[in-house]
Chains A and B, each alone.
Chain A
Amino acid sequence: MATYALAGAPSLPDARPAGGLAVPGPCAARGLRPRLGPGQLPAGRILPVLPKLARLFPLGGLPRGSTVLLGPAAAPDPLPGSAFAASGTSGAASQVPGLTSLLLLLLAGTSSQGYWCAVVGLPELGLAAAAELGADLGHLVLVPQPGSEGRWQSVVTTLLETVDLVCLAPDTPVRSTDARRLSARARERGSTLVVLDSASTHGGVARGFLSGGPVRPRRIVARWPGPSDLRCAVRESSWSGLERGHGLLSFRQLEAEVDGRGAASRPRRGLLRLPA
């Protein structure tokens, strides 16, 4: 995995990753109008994202009716087991933290434009962070405990008919029939389904043992088996500002990757500097 110099590159959102990566679709050069297939969507069919994310998405935003998977990068699968023991060894690529921040950025872009967003599951979502990243909490609806098996599906279905963007954070593996049905419902109702499959990332494992109390990670197998039109992942994450005994966590840098089907089949990467 490539690394780059983090310091001394203040305008990093525009920077391309340094050498060593098979650099996919450049971000800024081709702008917001990528080549599209014949089934391209009109502008009103796209939910907005923050400007700094727009170039990652082939249509400049989240297409309505699509399913977006926020999951581990398409690297080798992580070894199941301890959250932290695997760090620095194999599977590290999939354990990069930052998916939750990516989710918050998506929520910020959509809710700040007056669209309604709902988050199903994920009781630990940091809403203060969401507000700092620009989300409009007045347009954000939370269903932290969506109920047991058989109940949460109807909750998500109802929300897909109700709001513009539904984020689902399953804490157990979703059956593929359910996944297909929810994707189809999103397509039919023109809302966007964002699935946070953070089970195998750091945050998800932290969730697994922190929320329930038992010390074994429970959610390591949570997966979204269904179709997804777009896939967002974090390939690199680093913090700056915190030293040994002084400083403060102040900036972080994420390298996000978006790929998917159709126009998005060529992965796009971009560096995000937060907060900025």
Chain B
Amino acid sequence: MPPVRTLVVWCPDWPLVAAGLADRPAVVVAANRVIASSAPARSEGVRLGQRRREAQACCPELVVVGEDPARDARGFEPVVVAVASFTPRVELTRPGVCAIPALAPARYFGGEASLAEQVCDAAGAAVVAVAGAAGTAAPSPPCRVGIADGPFAARLAAREGMIVPSGATPKWLGHFPVEVLGLPALADVLGRLGIHTLGEFAELDESAVLARFGAEGGFAHRLARGLDERSLALGDPPADLTVCRELDPPADRADTLAFVAVGLAEELVGRLAPYGLAATQLLVEAETEHGESLQRWWRGDRPFTARAVVDRVRWQLEGWLQGPVITAPTAGVTMLRLTVADAVPDDGRQMDFEGAIAGASRQVERGLARVQGLLGHEAVLTAVPTGGRGPGEQIRLVPWGEEPGEDRGITGSKTARLGGGGKRASGRVRPGHRAAVVANITREAPPWPGRLPPPSPALVHPVPAPVEVLSSDGAPVGVTGRGRCTAAPSRLILPVAGSSPVGITGWAGPWPADERWWDPGAARRQARLQVLLDDGTAHLLVLEQGRWHLEATYD
């Protein structure tokens, strides 16, 4: 089956347009890495994948905002409406990128070139309107349109703003670097094998690629050859892949609907499971009391998990319910329907070619998702080692299911766990940079001078309690500018009512830490002191701004 002729609309720097920051130096940051930047920021030397403070060093007046997919999706809705005036079958890849099938509209609108021009004008006007509402100027050009065979090639064509003639896509793809596949780990290995372009990758034998790189590599190989993203082995998905829920009373809040969507998504994913399938394209429909309806197609870079489905539903409905008055519905939503439009064989969460996936079984994922349903997404955490001096800074807590990110050179090993993981990874491709795999192998942590050697304290108090450290003559102990104690600590007073001073039988330090002195807002000067008390307990005290606090306990 030949790939579908696809037109892709790509709005450059969409997260910044949605945040109203496109005309000044600004970046969007996730897990301390730049994932999107504005044109003025790029002209100052800011690059994707930089750390926040590297970017700030390039451009001191840089505005930094956090990642917010919901905001991006909300803002994108008018653009989708504009594109939908050409054909209702708009497919959203992510906020900022949407696609329509090009074949039939091209016939109606007078050829592909004419269609591309008209779509570009309409979408561009919508982008300018959104940017104006957000208080910024749209980037120039506000959006780009490309047409090629298959969504993957069309996305690349849109970045270059060109129309690839039908049938010429495989040859045209050949000159792109392998990094555009959005699989940094694979691109790194290929680079070391001497394969730098998609053309070279496509020349490899398919079965050999499959044997070496597994299902993911085989999929990438299909893309590189310009074939359809859909696997040929698949027949049509079974017919009953629709789940629907009537809402009574009607719901007019996106979070209420997202809650309903949780159950629907679980049901949908569960219904696909017996067929061994996972959804890659999804139709989300909502209908209100007054008969207004909104339907959107969503395509995932990876098969949708139940969580990813819920996210799409929430983005779509937030954009609709809180969007401009003209398009916003006038009544509550009474019906929510999810349909699987396309599915691929679900090869499960097997080891990918990195061999490094922490295989969370389906049972664990489902159970933890339920706990997140009870307590909120942020309540279930996993720990990722990171760099730092204090005992609490050496670990970063990441909500369950989110990408750990690559912080300070040490990565977690779960980058490929998420359905939507590829999207963010593709924004961070750094040609020539050794990718996460290498860091995983070497595990080389950068040095942190002034960091306390192990063993680390077993209890790190979230709110350090103020304490007083006294010398033998009862005077408070301080730390000099040269990092020495003014007197030998002899007694410790804890802030417990009625407690008497406890004798200090052993102490070491202080370890001074002068952190972020280049940033007045975040600068900290601290000194840490290990103490052993005469009741046998050991603690870590920290002095900051003349006050001692009990930071951690060696329990």
Distance of B536 from chain A, by nearest CB (Å): 6
Q: How many residues of B contact A (CB 8 A)?
A: 66
The CA of A249 and the CA of B459, in the complex, are separated in Å by 15
Whether the pair B382, A140 counts as a contact (CB closer than 8 A) is yes
Residue contact B459 to A126, C-beta cutoff 8 Å: yes
Contacts of A87 in B (CB 8 A): 502, 534-536
Is A26 interfacial (CB 8 A cutoff)? no
Given A98-B555, A137-B384, A239-B538, are A162 and B366 neighbors across the interface (CB < 8 Å)?
yes
The residue on A at minimum CB distance from B380 is: A143
In the bound assembly, the distance between CA atoms of A250 and B381 in angstroms comes to: 30
Cβ 8 A contact of B371, one of A132, A143, A239: A143
Let me know if B382 and A211 touch, CB within 8 A. Answer: no
Nearest to B394 among chain A residues (CB) is A128
Chief secondary structure at chain A's binding surface: mixed
Query: Which one of B456, B459, B497, B506 has the greatest number of beta carbons of chain A within 10 Å?
Result: B459
A242/B379 contact (C-beta < 8 A), A100-B458, A154-B374 known: no
Q: How far is the CA of A84 from the CA of B381 in the complex (A)?
A: 33
Quick check: is A202 within 8 A (CB to CB) of the other chain? Answer: yes
Q: Indicate the member of B395, B498, B534, B550 with the most A CB atoms within 10 Å.
A: B395
Query: Contact: A84 with B385, CB < 8 Å?
Result: no
In B504-555, the 8 Å CB interface with A consists of 505-508, 530, 532-538, 550, 552-555
B554 touches A249 (CB 8 A): yes
For residue A151, CB closer than 8 A to chain B, the reply is yes
Q: Is B381 in contact with A85, judged by CB distance below 8 angstroms?
A: no
Is the CB–CB distance between B458 and A88 below 8 Å?
no
The 8 A CB mask of A128-164 against B (1 = contact, 0 = none) is: 1111100001111111111100010011001101110
Interface residue from B375, B413, B488 paired with A151 (Cβ < 8 Å): B375
Question: Who on chain B is nearest to A247 by CB?
Answer: B508
Q: Which residues of B contact A237 (CB under 8 A)?
A: 536
Residues of chain A with a CB closer than 8 A to B370's CB: 158, 162
Contacts of B453 in A (CB 8 A): 248
A206→B461 contact, CB < 8 A: yes
In the assembled complex, A33 has its CB within 8 A of some CB on chain B? no
A134 CB to closest chain B CB (Å) equals 12
Find chain B residues with CB under 8 A from A209 CB: 465, 495-496
B502 contacts which of A84, A216, A252 (Cβ < 8 Å)?
A84
A39 to B487, alpha carbons, bound, how many Å?
A: 62
> Is A215 within 8 A of B496, CB to CB?
yes
Other-chain contact of A247, B374, B395, B456, B506 (Cβ < 8 Å): B506
Across-interface contacts of B532 in A (CB, < 8 A): 239, 242, 249
- Counting contact residues on chain A (CB < 8 A from B), the size range is 35 or more
Q: Is the Cβ of A127 less than 8 Å from the Cβ of B536?
A: no
On whether A124 and B460 interact (CB within 8 A), knowing A141-B400, A252-B455, the answer reads yes
- What is the minimal beta-carbon distance from A3 to any residue of chain B, in angstroms? 11
Instruction: Decide if A84 touches B552 in the complex (CB within 8 Å).
Output: no
A248's nearest neighbour on chain B, judged by CB, is B508
A213 proximal to B (CB < 8 A): yes
CB < 8 Å neighbour of B538 from A125, A137, A213, A242: A242
Interface centre among B380, B506, B533 (most CB of A within 10 A): B506
Interface of B is mostly: mixed
Asked if A97 lies at the interface with its beta carbon under 8 angstroms from chain B, I say yes
Interface centre among A82, A128, A138, A275 (most CB of B within 10 A): A128
Q: Are B458 and A104 in contact (CB under 8 A)?
A: yes
The answer to whether B555 touches A202, judged by C-beta atoms less than 8 angstroms apart, is yes
Across the interface, A155 reaches (CB within 8 A) one of B374, B412, B458, B554, namely B374
Q: Shortest distance in angstroms between A230's beta carbon and chain B's nearest beta carbon?
A: 20
Which chain B positions have C-beta within 8 A of A245? 485, 488, 507-508
| B462 near A124: Cβ-Cβ < 8 Å | yes
Contact B462 A243 (CB under 8 A): no
CB <8 Å contact, A138 and B414: yes
Check A138–B499 contact: CB distance below 8 A.
no
Set B371, B460, B495: member contacting A126, Cβ < 8 A: B460
In the complex, what's the smallest C-beta–C-beta distance from A13 to chain B, in angstroms?
A: 16
Q: Residues of A contacting B534 with CB < 8 Å?
A: 87-88
B104 contact set on A, CB distance < 8 A: none
Instruction: Indicate whether A138 sits within 8 Å of B412 (C-beta atoms), given known contacts A97-B536, A211-B461, A248-B530.
Output: yes
Can you name the residue of chain A whose Cβ is closest to the Cβ of B552?
Answer: A126
Q: Judge whether B555 and A138 touch: CB under 8 Å.
A: no
In this complex, which of A141, A151, A274 has the most chain B Cβ atoms within 10 angstroms of its Cβ?
A141
**Interface-centre pick from A131, A140, A252 (highest chain B CB count, 10 A):** A131
Closest chain B residue to A132, Cβ basis: B454
Is A260 interfacial (CB 8 A cutoff)?
A: no
**B368 interface residue, CB < 8 Å from A?**
yes
A124-B462, A143-B380 known; A202+B535 contact, CB < 8 A: yes
CA distance A209 to B116 in the complex (A): 66
B554–A139 CB distance below 8 A: no
Cβ–Cβ contact A252 & B554, under 8 A: yes
The residue on B at minimum CB distance from A98 is B555
Does the CB pair B458–A95 fall under 8 Å? no
* B313 CB → nearest A CB, Å: 23
A230 to B374, CA, bound (A): 30
Give the most central of A129, A154, A213: most B CB within 10 Å.
A129
Which A residues lie within 8 Å of B485 (CB)? Answer: 245
B57 at the interface (CB under 8 A from A): no
Given contacts A145-B379, A210-B461, A239-B532, contact A158 B374 (CB under 8 A): yes
Q: Does A232 contact B (CB under 8 A)?
A: no
Contact B371 A244 (CB under 8 A): no
B263 CB–A CB distance under 8 Å: no
Q: Is B363 an interface residue (CB 8 A)?
A: yes
B87 at interface (Cβ–Cβ under 8 A)?
A: no
8 sampled A-B residue pairs with Cβ under 8 A: A88-B535, A101-B555, A137-B385, A138-B358, A138-B413, A202-B537, A207-B459, A243-B506
> What residues make up the interface of A, taking CB atoms closer than 8 Å to B?
82-85, 87-88, 92, 95-101, 104, 116, 123-132, 137-147, 151, 154-155, 158-159, 161-163, 201-203, 206-207, 209-213, 215-217, 237-239, 242-250, 252, 274-275
